[in-house]
Chain A
Amino acid sequence: MMEWEAVIGLEIHAQLATRSKIFSGASTAYGAEPNTQACAIDLGLPGVLPVLNEGAVRMAVKFGLAIGAEVARRSVFARKNYFYPDLPKGYQISQYELPVVRGGRVTIQLDDGGEKEIGVTRAHLEEDAGKSLHEDFHGMTGIDLNRAGTPLLEIVSEPDLRSPQEAVAYAKKIHTLVRYLEICDGNMQEGSFRVDANVSVRPAGSHAFGTRTEIKNLNSFRFLERALAHEIERQIEVLEAGGAVVQETRLYDPDRNETRPMRTKEEANDYRYFPDPDLLPLVLEESYIEAVRAELPELPDARRARFVADYGLPAYDAGVLTASRELADYYEAVVAAVGGEPKLCANWVMVELGGALNRAGVEITASPVGPEALAGLLRRILDGTISGRAAKEVFEAMWAGEGDADAIIEARGLRQISDAGAIEKLIDEVLAAHPQQLAQYRAGKDKLFGFFVGQVMKASGGKANPKQVNELLRRKLDAGG
């Protein structure tokens, strides 16, 4: 049986988080009534002209600098000509031959703990089209031009990815990066972050590329992974059956977990690109680029490394905690408020908080338990006021909005018994109640120690400080021996 290797490249469309459109002053806010956010320019009325939004340029430059790319001193907007009802001007303004970002790299973490560099061929600015709505119009098509003119950064990778897992790791990396840079909200459901995949297969060890297909409509990382896995399998089946892969665009259907050719007629599109005469070439001064560089935040890779170095976290934890800027900010706020104990903080943020957020489907920024509040809880674990087990109960109550940690501990009587006298009294009672076991222990049956600990904890209603119970019990039993 022949071994096959997949070759994957991704085209990611990141909607830039500008308030107004790339060539007009209309709002880019999502979810408005159809056609209420399309001005004369977005509608392509006769006589209108585009004016470039500087905010979109700044965001593209940020991205270029963040991936170590060349930010072009001169780039050019072209017209991509084609007819479609949701494309108002009959052409899309997009950078073609001379994009603003050329050649960069990102590092992805592989499942085996290794790392791999993925090349980014280019990233260019362009305008989005509107939306065609095929439902609710009785055989007609509705056109919503609110999205028309929304700024996009199209990020094109080299065909450096070799598996669906690598593709997902790369897409997540770009997703993390654009959100760190605050240039894209990353909302995949709303289409703010869209992924198209080019995929082909070839015999392992071969250097030639196979015929590729392009898969569209991948609006989640899970779909990206599943669609690629399916398509790779399909291509291998075609080739092993002696067939040939057809170069085409395929649509992923998540309901049936399959890709199928898009229904468009297979004609070679000629977009008749030419430089848009309504826009001057985009010329960026070195000083402008440097000013943008100075605005860059700490990037995910650097932050991850710092978490390992400064907090002594395992690489895995550091990776999870830096996956989004908001999560990393939250974590660092907790550590600062606690005043140390980075590993304990990491566990709580990742496990208890992370789990609760996941279950509720809530973003970290909307967490009902803020970093200060969580730190308040962790401090009570550290100072012995409550046990780790009780802390989980307190956390749940905090999540439910019952107040801060101290109030909940008081209200629920979860304070640990750390009073040595009280614990000794409990021990005495337990020993007195179990003379037989005491005799066996003293005869050498050491493992009964655990039995006594359990009995004391039970007698305290679970509130005795287990560490103290251990110490005092040991002392008492040994002294008595």
Chain B
Amino acid sequence: MHERTIAELAHGLRAGEFSAVEVAETFLRRIEALDGRLNSFITVTAERALEQARAADERLRRGGGGPLTGVPIAHKDIFCTDGVRTSCASRMLDSFVAPYDATVVERLRDAGAVMLGKTNMDEFAMGSSNETSYYGPVRNPWDTERVPGGSSGGSAAAVAARLVPGATGTDTGGSIRQPAALCGITGLKPTYGRVSRWGMIAFASSLDQGGPMARTAEDVALLLGAMAGFDPRDSTSVDRPVPDYASELARPLRGLRVGLPREYFGEGLEAGVREAVEAAVRVLESEGAEVREITLPTTPLAVPAYYVVAPAEASSNLARYDGVRYGYRCENPRDLEDLYMRTRGEGFGDEVKRRILVGTYTLSAGYYDAYYLKAQKVRRLIRDDFMRAFEEVDVIAGPTSPTTAFRLGERLDDPVTMYLSDVYTIAANLAGLPALSLPVGFAGGLPVGMQLIGRHFEEGRLLNVAHQYQLATDWHRAAPPGFE
């Protein structure tokens, strides 16, 4: 049962091969039995899940239900869920129970999905290894001494380990794609504005985007179809019809123009990763795609620009955690300043504090023009680079991450190396473009991901390319030993 994809589960449920309750129980048992090795869940909502599964069965019995009715999923613990703790993996929100659902949560529930629980993540989505969580690090199911990537590491590990067939993630600089790559699954960061940010706890508002994570492109398409769409509660969400992503999957790749940015295959890229990605590109070629080298000259500016913009916005977004209204509050504050200092000093972890400090600095009088304003100009240049490239090619392909999963603790004391984990993923956030990671093989026994970047709102194209690749290959079927 747990080897089935979302598409297969949905089909089996509608055909009456098994019930939603049976499906939910199967996955809840796996979480119970196996997650001790991974720590991929912060909260498991077994009772609620079974309740939702029973309701799904009732709907299915009456011949109703949507494309996801009875399909279990998990939400990254950054999405607010009415009546369930939403911690953002921070001590600050350890006690926070949201009084409302995020739009993404609402839409997936309306599509019939059954929520099994909330997945672990880097604290406030700040990290690339899932080691900054207040609830402890998540381990990579392919090698539990290694990180799953981050910040959506819990979702990636849980999906890879077949604890749940699909999950939500959020991606500010690679937080869906990089863990998808390191755990060997498929994950999509949609176009900025495609998926509502309402109820998704903000890290860097102009970059954050929620998206789906699953084992196959087809499953990602099914989840995205439910998640995407205009939301009047999010002023940055875009009022544009949602295409039927599943129906676009079958399109052949003949004539597809694929660009390989020279800058994505240079220094710092592990040989094994390069080989796997190059092999994957050859598969696309054999499917009829035309591959050409392109150049994205502003690539080296992406990481520095990101580490100005993201912390700046974060420093403001996280100001609300002050111990006054909800969340963590220090014991016996002497006065207001003490309340602020100790609440925030004790409630936030080191990486969050580092970014708040950096962001506060770059927004300060006298530095704003030199940092924030300049970074925004760089963003424009990066976007222009992509726009030029997309005149020549339809999708851009390259490695998702320069390396495979690294060891726990290896980069914790070296933030700059950690930040470089996202060297290929950050540009898509800065430009607001959709980007997807799919598994394309292994290096040293660890999964390698290939990233596909598309034009704005061309998620369908990315899913189509990934699906065609997955029809031709089996990498996405590989299960981590011990989690088969």
Which residues of A are interface residues toward B (Cβ below 8 A)?
Answer: 40, 43-52, 79, 81, 83, 85, 88-91, 141, 143, 270, 272-274, 277-280
8 A-B pairs with least C-beta separation: A90-B319, A277-B206, A272-B363, A277-B205, A47-B199, A44-B320, A46-B201, A47-B80
Does A274 contact B320, Cβ atoms closer than 8 Å? no
The segment out of B281-289, B364-372, B384-392 that lies at the interface is: B364-372
Checking B232, B316, B340, B368 against A91 with a beta-carbon cut-off of 8 angstroms, the contacting residue is B316
**Which A residues touch B319, using CB under 8 A?**
81, 83, 89-91
**Which A residues touch B346, using CB under 8 A?**
none
Does B324 contact A46, Cβ atoms closer than 8 Å? no
The segment out of B60-68, B98-106, B438-446 that lies at the interface is: B98-106
Minimum Cβ distance to chain A for residue B307 (Å): 16
- The closest CB in chain B to the CB of A279 belongs to B235
Asked if B465 is at the interface of the complex by the 8 Å CB criterion, the answer is: no
A85 to B338, CA, bound (A): 13
**Which A residues touch B312, using CB under 8 A?**
274
Give B311-332 as 1s and 0s: 1 = Cβ < 8 Å from A's Cβ atoms: 0110110111010111000000
**Which A residues touch B368, using CB under 8 A?**
272-274
Which residues of B are interface residues toward A (Cβ below 8 A)?
Answer: 79-80, 86, 88, 93, 96, 98-100, 102, 197-202, 204-206, 232-236, 312-313, 315-316, 318-320, 322, 324-326, 336, 340, 360, 363-365, 368, 372
Q: Beyond A44-B325, A90-B320, A277-B313, list 7 extra A-B contacts (CB 8 Å).
A: A44-B320, A47-B200, A48-B199, A49-B235, A83-B340, A274-B368, A277-B205
Minimum Cβ distance to chain B for residue A132 (Å): 10
Checking A49, A83, A270 against B322 with a beta-carbon cut-off of 8 angstroms, the contacting residue is A83
**Which B residues touch A43, using CB under 8 A?**
325-326
Checking A40, A46, A51, A279 against B86 with a beta-carbon cut-off of 8 angstroms, the contacting residue is A46
A91 to B316, CA, bound (A): 7
Minimum Cβ distance to chain B for residue A101 (Å): 21
A143 to B323, CA, bound (A): 13
**Which B residues touch A50, using CB under 8 A?**
235
Does B316 contact A280, Cβ atoms closer than 8 Å? no
Interface-central residue, B100, B318, B322, by most chain A CB under 10 Å = B322
**Given contacts A79-B316, A274-B372, is CB(A40)–CB(B235) below 8 Å?**
no
A-B contact list, 25 entries, CB within 8 Å: A44-B320, A45-B326, A46-B86, A46-B201, A47-B200, A48-B198, A49-B235, A51-B233, A52-B235, A85-B324, A88-B320, A89-B320, A90-B319, A90-B322, A91-B316, A91-B319, A270-B365, A272-B316, A272-B364, A273-B368, A274-B363, A277-B206, A277-B313, A278-B236, A280-B236
- The closest CB in chain A to the CB of B93 belongs to A46
- The closest CB in chain A to the CB of B79 belongs to A47
A141 to B324, CA, bound (A): 11
**Which A residues touch B326, using CB under 8 A?**
43, 45
Does B197 contact A49, Cβ atoms closer than 8 Å? yes
**Which A residues touch B363, using CB under 8 A?**
81, 272-274
- The closest CB in chain A to the CB of B237 belongs to A49
Does A278 contact B205, Cβ atoms closer than 8 Å? yes
**Which A residues touch B98, using CB under 8 A?**
45-47
**Which B residues touch A272, using CB under 8 A?**
315-316, 360, 363-365, 368
Minimum Cβ distance to chain B for residue A20 (Å): 14
Minimum Cβ distance to chain A for residue B378 (Å): 15
Interface-central residue, A81, A91, A272, by most chain B CB under 10 Å = A272
**Which A residues touch B198, using CB under 8 A?**
47-49
A51 to B196, CA, bound (A): 13
**Given contacts A51-B235, A274-B312, A278-B235, is CB(A46)–CB(B320) below 8 Å?**
yes
